[in-house]
Chains A and B, each alone.
Chain A
Amino acid sequence: MSLEVNGTVYETDEEGYLADLNQWSSEIAEKMAIDDGANLTQPHWEVINFLREYYEEYQIAPAVRVLTKAIGKRLGKDKGNSKYLYELFPYGPAKQACKYAGLPKPTGCV
């Protein structure tokens, strides 16, 4: 599969996750969201940016509690929970947000 953004074609896996993390740009994230019928707002970007920062350091997406804690710090304590993250990313914060952030899909019993 592939994704076309501004005339450039990017390779993705069967589920639309970017094949090469380094090709990521915010336009790619926007395009993925539009294709899903979603609209990326500031809180979405806080999550996406944190995922990218964490991945760069640890080579894996953050565990749910690491993520909720970080988002709580950035957006306010009432938002540091998975209920809020599911509101932002209804297909599941781990999977949908990782996709927009250009990260590989988390695997395993999750």
Chain B
Amino acid sequence: MAATQFQTPRIREYPTIPVLVRGAMAHSQPFVAKPDHQEPLGFPGELVDNWKEVALKRMGELLGKYRSLQVFLDICVKCGSCTDKCHYFQGTADPKNMPVARQDLLRKVYRRYFTLAGKYFPKLVGAVDLTEEVLWDWYKYYHQCSQCRRCSVYCPYGIDTAEITMAGREILASVGIGQKYSNEIIGKVYKIGNNLGLPRPALLDTLEGLEEEVEEETGVKVRFPLDVKGAEVLLVTPSADFFAEPHVDGLIGYGKVFHQAGISWTLSSHASEAGNFGLFIGNYENMQKVAMRVREAALDLGVKRIVVGECGHAWRVAYSFWNTLIGPFDFLDPAYPVPQHICEFTHDLLLKGMIKLDPSENDDKVVTFHDSCNVARASRMGDMPGGQFVIPRELIKASCNHFVDMAPETINDQTFCCGGGGGVLTDDLIEIRVKGALPRMEALKQVVEQDGVTHMAAICAICKSQFTKVLPYFDLGMDMIVSVHQLISEAIVLEGSEQEEAPSTSDTQS
């Protein structure tokens, strides 16, 4: 497990635009999917002979299907506003990681084959032929974009680079060059039900272990139910919540909230994954097939509500796309949002007084919040604009006495990606992950030094895993990163627990 050799970028005193280093990341590419990762998703196993024809046909189909894609490819005026907004550009200085340049990799081929000027006067309009070299350039640089959409916030036309990255990846997969990491994972969802490949017996064993752990710690029998028909709420959460730290402490937090509020809930072994890597590879059919498991589980279990755990892109897919992918949801209780984010759910209970939080339980911490890109820029939460920024912070402030925000240009809709989103969270891309984490690490270091921040909370499984891995590269502790519901888990007042201070009830069995 020899570490890949590369230089961790140095924390800068002031963020500046890096001096360009041409080809700095031209060596970076993820492992290519093997035939058994490709075929279950409906893609050819390896590069097809007539790849050029297939690629252009697929591009034409995507242009027809997504009007936005054609508009984005047509309207860029090269104003330069996006150039320094990308965390990967800032961390690598590779000019092809300027969002406009990354888009141009696809745009120049689009011009050659789909515009009049490009067909007849390619050199005049920067149009180029689709060659195998261009194809591999796509493969490299469309996996140096986490589809976080920070650049699109600054684009005066609102060009969504993520959509172009998705189209690039979709074309690549359709000619036989898929990404191993994402496609292997999607295959596991089809076969087993979640990204990790946790079969039902393992899930059950893990959840039973958590029940024992919570009872040992608090004296309260908090349940983590699986496949319970007739439960009110189906909780769909990333499978990392069952498996990894710090994720699992967030899951424990959800369980305590459900328990204390007295709302019956269940997890599902069929829909044991909230994440949807179909989004990352830009493929509608796979995204729909992954999402469909949630609908099937909800109907099968007869639940009235669906709540989504802490997962950034899962929430984007749920909030923005579920209705057309797997709706209508006329079988659910219309009194509640469909779907509902776990933060929204907990916040609502807090406002209604159905749960109590004691922030002094987290007095050993000074906490900041990392806005996850897909939640921040591709969705909303609650019934107010900006609820996705307000609600998680309200929850943290209710659970902790010491909360500090990072610099304003690095939070809310201007948040920096963790560096591992959009299918980049794989060891074969560790260099780009570390380099792309630079802007977030700089903002974090600032509050660590100025305000004594000890912990950073997040609501995304990818962010949590990415930070656990990259924090040590920047001389910060891997355990700085926590789940928002981990803070709630510490602070929630459980009836019958040793932690409970209010002498209000003698019922310890709740």
A-to-B contact residues, CB < 8 Å: 14-16, 35-36, 57-60, 62-66, 69, 82, 91-92, 94-96, 99, 106-110
Interface pair A64/B243, CB less than 8 Å apart: yes
Whole-angstrom CA separation of A99 from B427 in the bound complex: 14
Name the contact of B202 in the complex, choosing from A15, A35, A59, A99 (C-beta under 8 A). A59
User: Are A69 and B427 in contact, CB atoms less than 8 angstroms apart?
Assistant: no
Contact between A107 and B244, CB atoms less than 8 A apart: no
B363-411 contacts to A, CB under 8 A, are: none
CA distance A36 to B3 in the complex (A): 9
Report chain A residues within 8 Å CB of B31: 14
Closest 4 CB pairs of A and B: A108-B195, A109-B461, A58-B202, A109-B240
Q: Is B242 an interface residue (CB 8 A)?
A: yes
CA distance A91 to B4 in the complex (A): 12
A106 adjacent to B196 (CB under 8 Å): yes
Interface string of B144-187 (1 = CB under 8 A from A): 00000000000000000000000000000000000001001100
Measured CB to CB, the closest approach of chain A to B259, in angstroms, equals 18
Partner of A109, one of B2, B210, B425, B428: B425
Contact (Cβ within 8 A) A65 B213: yes
Residue among B188, B202, B205 having the largest count of chain A Cβ atoms under 10 Å: B202
Q: A58-B201, A107-B197, A110-B244 are in contact. Are A14 and B428 (CB under 8 A)?
A: yes
Q: Are A58 and B427 in contact (CB under 8 A)?
A: no
Taking a contact as CB atoms under 8 Å apart, the answer to whether A63 and B243 are in contact is yes
User: Within the assembled complex, what's the spacing in Å between the Cα atoms of A85 and B66?
Assistant: 48
Q: Which residue in chain A gives the minimum CB-CB distance to B210?
A: A65
Q: Contact at B194–A108, with CB atoms within 8 Å?
A: yes
Asked if B465 and A110 make an inter-chain contact with CB atoms under 8 angstroms apart, the answer reads yes
Q: With A14-B31, A36-B1, A109-B461 given, is the CB distance from A58 to B244 under 8 Å?
A: no
Instruction: Determine whether B209 belongs to the interface, using a CB cutoff of 8 Å to chain A.
Output: yes
* Inter-chain contact B202/A108, CB cutoff 8 Å: no
Chain A positions within 8 Å of B240 at CB level? 108-110
Specify which chain A residues have a CB less than 8 angstroms from the CB of B195 in the assembled complex. Answer: 107-109
B199 touches A59 (CB 8 A): yes
Contact B461 A63 (CB under 8 A): no
Residues of B within 8 A of A58 (CB): 199, 201-202, 205
- Interface CB pairs A-B, < 8 A, 29: A14-B31, A14-B428, A35-B2, A58-B199, A59-B197, A59-B199, A59-B202, A60-B198, A62-B202, A62-B206, A63-B206, A63-B209, A63-B244, A64-B245, A64-B248, A65-B245, A66-B206, A66-B209, A69-B213, A107-B184, A107-B185, A108-B238, A108-B239, A108-B240, A108-B275, A109-B464, A109-B465, A110-B196, A110-B461
Question: CA–CA, A95 to B469, complex, Å?
Answer: 12
Query: Does chain A have a CB within 8 A of B462?
Result: yes
A16 touches B210 (CB 8 A): no
The answer to whether B199 touches A94, judged by C-beta atoms less than 8 angstroms apart, is no
Let me know if A15 and B206 touch, CB within 8 A.
no
What's the Cα separation between A83 and B204 when bound, in Å? 25
* A102 vs chain B, min Cβ distance (A): 15
Indicate which residue in A15, A36, A64, A69 contacts B244 across the interface (CB closer than 8 Å).
Answer: A64
Q: A60–B213 contact, CB under 8 A? A: no
Complex contact A109–B197 (CB within 8 A): no
Contact A63 B428 (CB under 8 A): no
Closest residue of chain B to A81 (Cβ to Cβ) is B245
Looking at A14, A16, A82, A107, which has the most chain B CB atoms within 10 Å of its CB?
A107
Known: A36-B1, A108-B239. 17 other contacts (CB 8 A): A14-B31, A58-B205, A60-B198, A62-B202, A63-B202, A63-B206, A64-B248, A66-B209, A92-B469, A96-B1, A107-B197, A108-B185, A108-B238, A109-B244, A109-B275, A109-B311, A110-B240
Shortest Cβ distance from residue B255 to the other chain A in the assembled complex, whole angstroms: 13
- Minimum CB–CB distance for B10 against chain A, Å: 23
Contact with A along B215-255 (1 / 0, CB 8 A): 00000000000000000000000111011110110000000
Whole-angstrom CA separation of A98 from B198 in the bound complex:
15
| C-alpha gap A107/B213 in the complex (Å) | 25
Which residues of chain B from 441 to 487 have any CB-CB distance to chain A below 8 Å in the complex?
Answer: 461-462, 464-465, 469
Q: Please, which residues of chain A bring their CB within 8 A of the CB of B188?
A: 107-108
Determine the chain A residues whose CB is within 8 A of the CB of B205 once the complex forms: 58, 66
Residues of A within 8 A of B198 (CB): 60, 63
Q: Tell me the nearest residue of chain A to B195, going by C-beta.
A: A108
Closest approach, in angstroms, between the C-beta of B388 and any C-beta of chain A? 19
A13 — nearest CB in chain B belongs to which residue? B31
* Complex Cα spacing A11 to B253, Å: 42
Q: Which residue of B lies closest to A92 (CB)?
A: B469
Contacting residue for A99 out of B1, B2, B196, B209, CB 8 A: B1
CB proximity of A41 to chain B, nearest CB, Å: 17
In the assembled complex, the Cα of A24 lies from the Cα of B311 at a distance in Å of 36
B196 contacts A108, C-beta separation under 8 Å:
yes
Contact present for B181 and A107 (CB under 8 Å): yes
Chain B residues with CB under 8 Å of A96's CB are: 1
Closest beta carbon of chain B to A8's beta carbon, Å:
22
**In the complex, chain A residues whose CB is within 8 Å of the CB of B311:** 109
Question: Are B1 and A65 in touch, CB under 8 angstroms?
Answer: no
